């Protein structure tokens, strides 16, 4: 290449570099502007929510939190225990098939977040009955109690207000904590009710030991990807006899499985060839029945025995080494298999 050609091409190279640099600068500046705008909006939301909790209007707090329960936590039913403080609301929901524990959901200035499963605050009074009967009873007194008690406001010396549904009688029990010179004191309604566990998860104060309000016990959870043996042990107990695995997803806090098995369908329709079910990080199923599916989706039309799927996972895990996983998916997706034979797709963290 001659010196004259280099001289003619150099400006074009410089111009191209300047254009690239300009585009990069513009993208970076826009990204920074959008980030700053987002942070400003989030700070505004936090400030607005914090004022709602600080004001101590229980109905306004409940309304704000209910929006988050429905939109973010996908909880469209009422909690069966709830605690108000000036820093937020803790609600406890029946979730899945285990009626001896509740799912804690926190609502505060930061938004709505899902907490652990905890023992039922009135565990000693749990009746041995079907979940459907439990839910039918909760349709009566509880919504009226929520409306009645949330019409109250915090007084200057109020620290917290708790409300729990008695699992056997269906009647509400409330406890109001007030600040006193020596210690916080509790006022219960009705008088002399059974004691129940302390519901606020953020301890602005400690309940007096003699109040009969022990702290809630969080249940031990599993991390399925770090302990896949426990995941397969759970499935071996939960899968119907003769069911074969069509699709399986393991995540840290959830197991989703599809089986090839004659599955009872809805509205007296013929049995479906496949069924779905999910389990949370405590091994609790989302439903007591298998959701019927007519087609396998990404699952395999012909399932394999669970032990075969487990062996295939062990082999696939050995191939990727000891790197932590964020997801493990067994399917017949044509992105990873021939569409007929199940393959494990492991996603490293």
141 pLDDT above the threshold of 70: yes
Task: Tell me the three state secondary structure of residue 76.
Answer: coil
Q: Is residue 14 part of a domain?
A: no
As a whole number of Å, the CA-based R_g of the chain is: 27
Same domain? 60 vs 200: yes
Question: Domain range holding 302?
Answer: 228-348
Q: Is residue 140 part of a domain?
A: yes
pLDDT-derived band of residue 169, with 50, 70 and 90 as boundaries?
confident
229-246 mean pLDDT: 98
Counted domains in the chain: 2
Same domain? 186 vs 263: no
Q: Is the dihedral of CA 255, 256, 257, 263 positive or negative?
A: positive
pLDDT value at position 33? 67
Q: Is residue 166 part of a domain?
A: yes
**Sheet with 291-293, edge to edge strand ranges:** 291-293, 272-280, 254-263, 244-251, 325-331, 343-348
Of 73, 85, 64, residue with least CA distance to 114 = 73
Same domain? 80 vs 114: yes
**Whole-model pTM above 0.75?**
yes
CA 300/CA 304 separation, integer angstroms: 9
User: Which contacts (CB < 8 Å, 24+ apart) does range 34-38 have?
Assistant: none
pLDDT value at position 130? 45
How far is CA 229 from its chain centroid?
23
138 pLDDT above the threshold of 60: no
Q: Is residue 155 part of a domain?
A: yes
pLDDT value at position 12? 65
Same domain? 68 vs 198: yes
Same domain? 169 vs 63: yes
Q: Is residue 76 part of a domain?
A: yes
Q: Is residue 49 part of a domain?
A: no
Same domain? 344 vs 237: yes
pLDDT value at position 131? 47
Which two structure tokens, joined as six digits, stand for 225? 């990807």
Higher per-residue confidence, 346 vs 39: 346
Q: Can you give the length of the chain in residues?
A: 349
Is-contact 294 273, C-beta < 8 A?
yes
The pLDDT tens digits of the residues spanning 179-216 come to 887 788 888 998 888 889 999 998 888 777 666 788 89
Picking from 179, 211, 243, the residue at the C-terminal end of a domain is 211
pLDDT value at position 38? 60
pLDDT value at position 259? 98
- What is the overall mean pLDDT for the chain? 87
Same domain? 198 vs 89: yes
135 pLDDT above the threshold of 80: no
Rounded to 5 degrees, φ, ψ at 19 are: -65, -45
Counting residues of the chain whose pLDDT is more than 70, the rounded percentage is 85
> Would you tell me how many other CB atoms lie within 10 Å of the CB of residue 72?
14
Same domain? 284 vs 164: no
Same domain? 69 vs 168: yes
266 pLDDT above the threshold of 70: yes
| Measured CA angle at 260 (ends 257, 266), to 5 deg | 85
Same domain? 142 vs 176: yes
pLDDT value at position 36? 62
> Would you tell me how many other CB atoms lie within 10 Å of the CB of residue 188?
18
29 pLDDT above the threshold of 80: no
Same domain? 65 vs 204: yes
Q: Is residue 44 part of a domain?
A: no
Q: Is residue 75 part of a domain?
A: yes
Same domain? 157 vs 266: no
């Amino acid at each position: 290449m001659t010196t004259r050609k280099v001289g003619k091409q150099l400006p074009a190279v410089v111009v191209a570099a300047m254009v690239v640099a300009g585009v990069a600068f513009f993208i970076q500046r826009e990204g920074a502007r959008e980030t700053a705008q987002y942070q400003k909006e989030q700070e505004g939301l936090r400030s607005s929510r914090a004022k709602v909790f600080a004001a101590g209007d229980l109905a306004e707090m409940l309304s704000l939190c209910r929006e988050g329960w429905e939109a973010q936590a996908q909880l469209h039913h009422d909690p069966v225990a709830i605690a108000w403080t000036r820093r937020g609301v803790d609600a406890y929901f029946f979730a899945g098939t285990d009626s001896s524990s509740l799912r804690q959901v926190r609502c505060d200035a930061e938004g709505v977040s899902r907490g652990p499963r905890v023992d039922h605050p009135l565990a000693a009074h749990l009746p041995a009955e079907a979940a459907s009967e439990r839910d039918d009873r909760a349709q009566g007194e509880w919504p009226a109690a929520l409306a009645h008690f949330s019409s109250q406001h915090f007084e200057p010396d109020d620290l917290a207000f708790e409300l729990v549904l008695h699992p056997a009688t269906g009647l509400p029990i409330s406890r109001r904590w007030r600040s006193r010179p020596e210690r916080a004191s509790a006022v219960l309604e009705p008088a002399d009710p059974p004691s129940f566990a302390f519901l606020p998860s953020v301890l602005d104060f400690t309940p007096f030991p003699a109040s009969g309000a022990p702290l809630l016990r969080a249940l031990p959870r599993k991390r399925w990807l770090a302990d896949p043996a426990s995941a397969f042990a759970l499935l071996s107990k939960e899968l119907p006899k003769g069911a074969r695995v069509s699709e399986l997803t393991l995540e840290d806090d959830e197991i989703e499985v599809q089986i090839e098995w004659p599955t009872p369908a809805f509205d007296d329709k013929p049995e479906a060839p496949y069924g779905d079910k999910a389990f949370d990080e405590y091994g609790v199923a989302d439903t007591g029945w298998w959701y019927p599916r007519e087609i396998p989706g990404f699952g395999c039309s012909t399932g394999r025995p669970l032990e075969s799927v487990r062996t295939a996972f062990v082999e696939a895990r050995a191939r990727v080494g000891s790197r932590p996983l964020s997801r493990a998916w067994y399917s017949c997706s044509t992105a990873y298999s021939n569409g007929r034979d199940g393959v494990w797709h492991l996603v490293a963290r």
